[in-house]
Structure 1
Amino acid sequence: MSGEMDGRAQDHGRVYQTTGDQHITEHHHYGSYGPADMGGPDSVRRPAVGQTPVALRDRGEVLARLREGLTSGRGAEVYVLHGMGGCGKTAVAQAFFDIATGEYGRVGLWVNAADRATLRAGMLAAAADRGARDGELLAAHQGHRPAADLVWHHLDRSPEPWFLVLDNADDPAILRDGSWLRGSPRGTVLVTTRRAAARWWPGAELQHIGVLPREDAARVLCDLAPHSGTMEQATEVAERLGRLPLALTLAGGFLAHQVIDPWTMDLYGRRLEEDEAAELLDQGADVLAEEDPRHLVGRTWQLTLDSFEERGLPEPVSLLRLLARLAPEPLPLSVLNRPEIAALLPLPRTEAALRVLVDHSLTQLVDLGDLRCAHSHGVLLDTVAAATPPADLPQLNTTAVRLLDAAVPAIPAAGPYDPRLRLLAPHALALLRKTTEPSGTSDALAVATRLATALHRTGDYLSAWETAGAAAPLASRTLGEEHRLVLAAHARTGRSLFRLGRYEEAEPLLRRVRSTQLRLYGADDPDTLDTGQGLQLVLGNNGKREEAVALLRSVVAGRRAALGPWHPATLRSRVSLLAILTAGETATEAEADETFLSLPDACTQRLGPEHAVTLSARHNHARAQFVLGRYQLADDEIRRVVEDYQRVLGPGYPAVLAARQLHARTQAALGHQEAAVVLMAEVVAGRERALGPDHPFTASGRDLLKELRSGRWTPPRPPE
């Protein structure tokens, strides 16, 4: 044989090299086989974590509860810290590990329970620490002796009391199947897990670990990056990160380790809005002691989603991706319980999929009054959205918009305040932000605008303005400013601004929209007429009554021609004339149109007695009777209107206060001064609560109340 050898041997290895056929038989026995050769953690006496928090914020109540377990003397205590990934369960466990070992003299044992092999090796190492002999451990490793029984035999007989942490126990079946989780009179067990269901932890005391309060979250950023900004700036960044401890730690780490070009918290906050949040956050992970997916926002929840798919459970993944198209706000469960979801996952499987997400702390159930909702963290949803395959987005967006469409009334009607509608608003806007395809954007905008209309008609003008006011510019990025639906959303914004008393903003907006609609669609287009109906209200209340009357008459004529005299929209405009005309104009109108003063009867016949237009017709008819000097008729009618408003629309509805103000005026006109003052004082107080002290309606009500109290008020003079 010639030439250099290609192989090299180390330790007890041997190398054979030959140019011919060889048959070699060897028998080896090199010393004993002990625990050092079995594999396992290098230490169970130290927490196996990446980075120690600079300071543990807002966990005092949890730590106090755990201290009680150490000082009570009861023994056999098992505590379970559960919560979503990144909420700081391990940090709490680490902090209490230090307390148990430092202040209470416990032997600390730390075992990673993320998978079967790691748990088994860690628990056997704990048994070795508590006195297990090499032969016992070898027998357990080789399956000749039950490993869990061996571990707990030595834990139960430990000469010193101990504190055992089972970290990352996100698959409780691993603990259950091997009977690894037990109580012992000699120690206390603390488990950290994402699995929230109590059935996994019989006999244990459960403690939820959530996100941090606002101030403590900001302090985490200041702890890590004290020179990057103020507490106020840190608070804004913390809110954007949903006050999630992992995200805060990564953000603070990034800010603290920028040397060449340091970032401020303000800059970091802006970049969170502009870039992929998960990618930016994970840049802060470079400062951690080890690379672990649990330390990365972009990967920590993907571990759980991967496990779903490995176990043949695609529905929870699909449902979470659907939720990621919406907002990190409470979503009424009724939205998910609809047949429209079948395009993504079978409706009967939705319940099971949601329970899986709740059980794995990927979402949580919250009760808001009588509404039960699903609520997922914003950073989690951002991460899931970023990892969603692009090919899945059209179906996800279509399913989301159909679910929201089904949840919003098809024809929004006036009625009592509905809290469910307000909960839908952030989801409609989130879907608009995440939809870039024109047809999907138009569908989402149509739903958002109809939702704003529904909010408006329940008297929630602020939410209506916020919804329509945000939806229009979001959609215009894809559809353009002159798209029909974008203009309709702007018009809805203007009408809500009027109801909020912001006339100086509402008037130019509605004028601009109507001007564009006139140019694009003509004067008799339904959208143009609808904007005109809203604009005349602003003009009439903004000191431009003559222009308002002229515009309203043109809207009435246009709706008569396009829709007929008895269409609800036409009737609404005709009824509006009853509210704006003077006594002389009312008399003239009644002469020209014999049906004018019988509009309430026509509305009752065509629309029903409780329709919003019918109630408004009766209200405005009472006002017409009042300006005509028929005070007793007006008083009798408005009294009944107030009662019906309260019964149909609810006592807090804005129209109730307007009707009661007219009732105060009719009472004063009839000489019942004290009753009028009492009524008007209640109206002013109600408007201050509902609209604020500076709203024009509130101010005019205060002026009327002053006049009534002083005796200076006089009723309008009827036409001669």
Structure 2
Amino acid sequence: MSGTMDGRADSSGRVYQASGDQHIIEHHHHGEARSVAWAGIESVRQPTGGRAPMVLRDRTELMERLRAAVAPGVSNQVYVLHGMGGCGKTAVARTVFQLATTEGNRVGLWVNAADRTSLRSGMLAVAADRGATEGELSAARNGLRAPADLVWERLGESERPWLLVLDNADDPEILQDGGWLRASPRGTVLVTTRRAAVQWWPHAELHHVGVLPREAAAQVLCDLAPETGTMEEAAEIADRLGRLPLALTLAGGFLSHQVIDPWTMTKYGRHLDGQGRVDLIDQGATPLAREDARHLITRTWQLSLDALTTQGVHESTALLRLLACYGADPLPLTLLNDPQINSVVPRPRAEVALRGLLDQSLTTVVDAGVRCVQTHAVLLASVMAGTPREQVAQLTSTAALLLDAAVPAIPQRGPQDLRMSLLAPHVLGLLHHATDASVVAGALDVAVRLACALHRTGDYLSARELASAAAAITEPKLGPEHRLVLSAHARTGRALFRLGRFEESEAILRQVLADRERLFGPDHPDTLDSYFGINHPLQQLGRAAEGITLLQRATDGRERVLGKGHPLTLQSRAHLLEFLPIAELAVEVDGTATPLPQECAIHLGPDHAVTLGSRLSYAFALVRLGRFEAAVEDARRVAEDYERCHGPDYAHTLSAQLLYARARAALGDMDSAVELMAVVARRREQSLGAEHPYTARSYELLEEMRAKAAGQSTD
């Protein structure tokens, strides 16, 4: 290059020429310094997230609080709406925004805070709206001035009060790192987020946004698709959708946009039964101009999982997929504290993974009598639908092993265990999801044991529902002749007996007995169990001889196959004392050197359930033989022990008290007998219902005793 000037400039242009390295910075400010609109985003004066609800249903208490937050003269506060994706946080914020700008005479400012770029652009646009000059904005954009300071300086100098909404603030770190979240005496800040931890929102007032009540959820569907069904039909669909606002909005959108072949809510409900129900829900998003992950059931929660992965907590995805193998009811947290979880999530990392899910509002800890974790049904269905098929077998296998560890191998009689009741819907959820035959069989084995455990605590209705549902789910997967499927049917029949439905019980147990004899032979333990179990309904249906024959067959077979001291053998012998003809009973009672209760205590211990049951059966045998002096003391003691061990409303406690009342009546102590019998009748009515045959029989005995007591008084 020569030493002369080679370049030329026209008008206001400039030419720089140098022989060495030079670094030149220029700042250009043309025209008058004035406020300009920031062109980085379309608008901060209108909400840009979600869809405006036709009518905001329910949220009454929350809206009262937020209405007060944007009343004239109220400022200098930050409010945080937190909850799972799709629960309607943005809809609430939109409604508050509308109130603030119309009734509250505030400037409404709306910023998408989903990521750093959107937040920064939006907040600088807020600064421009509130009077920042082009030079100030340029300096902030180029790093020559702290952008957050500029924004809050302009907000603090605003002539009009304002409401600033920071929507989708699911990454609170970016708010904290940049100093973007502050309070101001000139306005109010409203944040929507999935992040629930208090640590992210110091000095803010937090409000949880959850699912809608049933009636409000049904009304949302009727608002969106008014001609497609009744309120009751809408309520049923709302229940199926877990009353989640996003799911309701999508369902209503689908129903309202069917033109060629309009659907009713009833037809929509039928299609929700299929495996693709989550995809069906998302079809309601097709009228949207653009696809946004936050507007789709199948994708909205992936945003939270992606955020956790970015934070280094990838185990949260695995844990959520494991939870998706279960149901949407409260799940005891102790289930996750087992070494079996290592195959999905390393046990030391399970705590971190769960905290991540809680922080992102993907699940929540609830108190259902025991500490539980609960996850929304639609979220679980979405996660399961998106789980790679090759991972499902491992996940369901681990889920089955965790349940297996939680349910006793041999359930014992005792007071109700809330944890067992809470596990029932999760066993059924797992049976629905499992496809591998070995996993299905393992989960069904857990279901049968759990039904037995519920039965032995006196929760016969839950036992029947669990066993019946488990059999219905697994019979198509394993076949009707699978041993565990038959066991589930047998448990159904045993529970039906306790519920007083003797004919149904006998029909089911007879079919199971026939199948077991044909498939396994007469000496198989399952077949012997059927001989034992069917005796009970047969006795109540007036077929005592057949029942005794089968019970004797069970007793002989168990002694031969299992041994004389086996608990099931001793149990069968005890039950014979209640049903043998009087002549044979006398031989059984008097012909043994060691009474059966003592023999049970020798083999099993004095507190074993079979020992306690044998004492009740033996006392009943003494009553049948007319040996009331001996029977009354035995009956009193066993009644006291049952009440101490199992509570006053337990079925065997009431049976023992009834026997004690009968023995006292036989000895002429009618006042005590009537008093005891009145308690038994009342408690049976409370626990079994007024229509149960045992309740009716108790009141019959009570009236008989009262009549005898009245006869004694007249004598």
With the shorter chain as reference, the TM-score category is over 0.9
Please state whether the residue corresponding to 2:327 is helix, strand or coil. coil
Alignment partner, residue 122 of structure 2: 122
- After superposition, the C-alpha distances for 1:659-699 in whole angstroms (9 at most, x for unaligned) are 11111101111111111111111111101110000111111
Alignment partner, residue 600 of structure 1: 597
Alignment partner, residue 264 of structure 1: 264
Shift of 1:102: 0.7
- Which amino acid in structure 1 is aligned with residue 634 of structure 2? E
1:703-718 counterparts in 2 under 5 A?
703-711=700-708
Alignment partner, residue 620 of structure 1: 617
Q: Structure 2: how far apart are the matches of 1:65 and 1:51?
A: 22
Shift of 1:632: 1.5
1:244-643 counterparts in 2 under 5 A?
244-369=244-369, 371-590=370-589, 594=592, 598-643=595-640
- Which amino acid in structure 1 is aligned with residue 550 of structure 2? L
Shift of 1:158: 0.4
- Which amino acid in structure 2 is aligned with residue 691 of structure 1? L
Q: Structure 1: how far apart are the matches of 2:61 and 2:163?
A: 19
- After superposition, the C-alpha distances for 1:57-92 in whole angstroms (9 at most, x for unaligned) are 111111101122233845211000000000000000
CA contact (8 A) 2:165 2:190 kept: yes
Q: Structure 2: how far apart are the matches of 1:450 and 1:76?
A: 58
- After superposition, the C-alpha distances for 1:231-265 in whole angstroms (9 at most, x for unaligned) are 11111100000000000000001001111101111
CA contact (8 A) 1:568 1:613 kept: yes
- After superposition, the C-alpha distances for 1:503-527 in whole angstroms (9 at most, x for unaligned) are 1111110000000100111111000
Shift of 1:390: 1.0
Distance 1:646 1:590, change over 3 A: closer
- After superposition, the C-alpha distances for 1:569-595 in whole angstroms (9 at most, x for unaligned) are 00000000112224333113346x526
Q: Structure 2: how far apart are the matches of 1:434 and 1:368?
A: 25
Distance 1:454 1:192, change over 3 A: same
CA contact (8 A) 1:51 1:289 kept: no
Q: Structure 2: how far apart are the matches of 1:549 and 1:374?
A: 48
Distance 1:399 1:694, change over 3 A: same
- After superposition, the C-alpha distances for 1:315-341 in whole angstroms (9 at most, x for unaligned) are 101100000011011000000011111
Distance 1:69 1:35, change over 3 A: closer
Please state whether the residue corresponding to 1:711 is helix, strand or coil. helix
Alignment partner, residue 88 of structure 2: 88
- After superposition, the C-alpha distances for 1:93-120 in whole angstroms (9 at most, x for unaligned) are 0001001111110100000000000000
Moved over 3 A (4+): 28-39, 71-74, 588-591
Distance 1:261 1:213, change over 3 A: same
Alignment partner, residue 702 of structure 1: 699
Q: Structure 1: how far apart are the matches of 2:387 and 2:452?
A: 33
1:38-53 counterparts in 2 under 5 A?
39-53=39-53
CA contact (8 A) 1:556 1:574 kept: yes
Q: Structure 1: how far apart are the matches of 2:588 and 2:628?
A: 20
Shift of 1:40: 1.9
CA RMSD of aligned residues (A): 1.9
Alignment partner, residue 693 of structure 1: 690
- After superposition, the C-alpha distances for 1:264-310 in whole angstroms (9 at most, x for unaligned) are 11110110111412100110001234321100001100111122233
Shift of 1:36: 7.9
Please state whether the residue corresponding to 1:261 is helix, strand or coil. coil
- After superposition, the C-alpha distances for 1:476-535 in whole angstroms (9 at most, x for unaligned) are 111100011111111111101111111111111000000010011111100011122111
Q: Structure 2: how far apart are the matches of 1:676 and 1:289?
A: 78
- After superposition, the C-alpha distances for 1:619-668 in whole angstroms (9 at most, x for unaligned) are 11111111111111111011110111111222221110111111110111
Matched, 1:180 2:177: no
- After superposition, the C-alpha distances for 1:400-443 in whole angstroms (9 at most, x for unaligned) are 00100001012100011111101000010110011111111111
Please state whether the residue corresponding to 2:189 is helix, strand or coil. strand
Alignment partner, residue 201 of structure 2: 201
Q: Structure 2: how far apart are the matches of 1:539 and 1:257?
A: 59
Q: Structure 2: how far apart are the matches of 1:681 and 1:582?
A: 30
Query: TM-score, normalised to structure 2's length?
Result: 0.93
Q: Structure 2: how far apart are the matches of 1:70 and 1:521?
A: 75
Please state whether the residue corresponding to 1:166 is helix, strand or coil. strand
Q: Structure 2: how far apart are the matches of 1:159 and 1:38?
A: 19
CA contact (8 A) 1:582 1:627 kept: no
Q: Structure 2: how far apart are the matches of 1:356 and 1:230?
A: 40
Please state whether the residue corresponding to 1:662 is helix, strand or coil. helix
- After superposition, the C-alpha distances for 1:189-224 in whole angstroms (9 at most, x for unaligned) are 000000000000000000000000011111111111
- After superposition, the C-alpha distances for 1:452-492 in whole angstroms (9 at most, x for unaligned) are 11111111111111111111121111110001111111111
Q: Structure 1: how far apart are the matches of 2:530 and 2:484?
A: 13
Shift of 1:135: 0.4
CA contact (8 A) 1:35 1:137 kept: no
Flag structure 1 segments of 5+ consecutive residues without an equivalent.
1-27, 715-720
Q: Structure 2: how far apart are the matches of 1:36 and 1:487?
A: 78
Matched, 1:679 2:661: no
> More deviation in 131-140 or 310-319?
310-319
Q: Structure 2: how far apart are the matches of 1:246 and 1:532?
A: 54
Alignment partner, residue 6 of structure 1: none
Alignment partner, residue 19 of structure 1: none
Alignment partner, residue 4 of structure 1: none
- Which amino acid in structure 2 is aligned with residue 615 of structure 1? L
Q: Structure 2: how far apart are the matches of 1:304 and 1:136?
A: 35
Please state whether the residue corresponding to 1:509 is helix, strand or coil. helix
- Which amino acid in structure 2 is aligned with residue 622 of structure 1? A
Q: Structure 2: how far apart are the matches of 1:71 and 1:52?
A: 22
Alignment partner, residue 135 of structure 1: 135
Alignment partner, residue 22 of structure 2: none
Distance 1:608 1:83, change over 3 A: same
CA contact (8 A) 1:358 1:364 kept: yes
CA contact (8 A) 1:215 1:235 kept: yes
Query: TM-score, normalised to structure 1's length?
Result: 0.93
Shift of 1:30: 11
Alignment partner, residue 168 of structure 2: 168
Distance 1:488 1:35, change over 3 A: farther
Alignment partner, residue 15 of structure 1: none
Shift of 1:32: 5.9
- Which amino acid in structure 1 is aligned with residue 576 of structure 2? L
Shift of 1:31: 9.7
Please state whether the residue corresponding to 1:417 is helix, strand or coil. coil
Alignment partner, residue 663 of structure 1: 660
Q: Structure 2: how far apart are the matches of 1:504 and 1:300?
A: 51
CA contact (8 A) 1:469 1:489 kept: yes
Q: Structure 2: how far apart are the matches of 1:614 and 1:39?
A: 84
Please state whether the residue corresponding to 2:150 is helix, strand or coil. helix
Q: Structure 2: how far apart are the matches of 1:75 and 1:231?
A: 41
- After superposition, the C-alpha distances for 1:125-174 in whole angstroms (9 at most, x for unaligned) are 01111111110001000110000000000001100000010000000001
CA contact (8 A) 2:195 2:360 kept: yes
- Which amino acid in structure 1 is aligned with residue 405 of structure 2? A
Alignment partner, residue 229 of structure 1: 229
Distance 1:665 1:522, change over 3 A: same
Please state whether the residue corresponding to 1:273 is helix, strand or coil. coil
Please state whether the residue corresponding to 2:273 is helix, strand or coil. helix
CA contact (8 A) 2:49 2:112 kept: no
Quote the sequence identity (%).
Answer: 57
Distance 1:159 1:297, change over 3 A: same
Q: Structure 2: how far apart are the matches of 1:31 and 1:185?
A: 33
- Which amino acid in structure 1 is aligned with residue 706 of structure 2? R
